[in-house]
Amino acid sequence: MPIMAVVTLVAKIFAGLFVLLFIYQVIVRVLAKTLRRYIAVPAPAFLGVLLDSRFRRKIQPPSDIVRRSGIKQGMRVVDLGCGSGTFTLEMAKHVGENGEVFAIDIQPKMLQQLESKLQKEENRAIKKLIKVIEGSAYKIPLEDESIDVCCMISVLQEIPDRERALCEVRRILKPTGVLAVTEFIIDPDYPLSTTTINLAMKAGFVVDEMLGNFWNYTVRFRKGALTQ
């Protein structure tokens, strides 16, 4: 096969994939936004299985997201809107026995899925490092300035009053604390990184580092000086 034909074929495949992704985003986005206009619902709990599917772990490996979020040994970390806990267990492995992970979600049925993972023999060692808490991002049941890293993975756009939630995150972070927001294009609520950055800046954060790529990014923020 001549080289030009191969190049054309590859270009066509990429263009086709891009168009499919675009159509998916438009359809799912319109559906999600229309639904949310009438009922402010979080991702239903039965999606917990999909959120922790083998496919997702392959395209968005938990170890990558945890590394990007800046989680290290001994840290106190919050997985805010943890869902079924796809990333929570990996966070616990990274903080180690001197650290702590608070897995917080508003839906008890999501948390039940995380709890049943924690009951497995293979997770016995990390189970004690994870505190599973039913709670809202509007009123996080943790003390002021007590947390090193707060991760929000595919969560922020699901929260109706995002600024309020981010101010609450700001409250629980230590002065050196980090807010790590991760978004992935397959999520119907996926926002551009500029949208995420503008939201966080409104709540008094400054960008520390941006990692990943257009479809799958993590923005790490630090607490900036409050102007008001």
Ligand X SMILES: C[S@@+](CC[C@H](N)C(=O)[O-])C[C@H]1O[C@@H](n2cnc3c(N)ncnc32)[C@H](O)[C@@H]1O
Between 24 and 43, how does the x/- string for binding to ligand X read (CB under 6 A)?
Answer: ------------------xx
Helix axes 108-118, 88-95, angle to 10 degrees: 50
With CB under 6 A as the contact rule, the residue among 75, 95, 103, 105 that binds ligand X is 105
Nearer to ligand X, 77 or 82 (CB): 82
CB under 6 A: which stretch of 66-74, 124-132, 149-157, 198-206 binds ligand X?
A: 149-157
Buried b (16+ CB within 10 A) or exposed e, 81-103: bbbbbbbbbbbbbbbeeebbbbb
Which region among 14-22, 81-89, 193-201, 203-211 touches ligand X (by CB under 6 A)?
A: 81-89
- For residue 200, the minimal CB distance to ligand X (Å) is 16
Quick one: which segment of 20-28, 92-100, 102-110, 192-200 binds ligand X (CB under 6 A)? 102-110
Say how many Å lie between the first and final Cα of the chain, rounded: 65
Secondary structure class of 179 (helix, strand, coil)? strand
The DSSP code sequence of 85-125 is: -TTHHHHHHHH-TT-EEEEEES-HHHHHHHHHHHTSGGGHH
Is residue 153 within the footprint of ligand X (CB under 6 A)? yes
Question: In whole angstroms, how close is the CB of 67 to ligand X at the nearest point?
Answer: 16
Verify binding: residue 154, ligand X, rule CB under 6 A.
yes
- Using the rule CB under 6 A, is 193 a contact of ligand X? no
Considering the complex, state which of residue 129 and residue 155 has its C-beta at the smaller distance from ligand X.
Answer: 155
d(CA 93, CA 73): 9
Asked if 155 interacts with ligand X (CB under 6 A), we say yes
Residue 158 touches ligand X, criterion: CB under 6 A? yes
> Using CA atoms, how far apart are residues 156 and 179, in angstroms rounded to an integer?
12
Give the tokens for residue 100: 């702590």
CB closer to ligand X, 19 vs 59: 59
Distance CA 66, CA 151 (A): 9
With binding defined as CB under 6 A, does residue 103 bind ligand X? no
With binding defined as CB under 6 A, does residue 159 bind ligand X?
Answer: yes
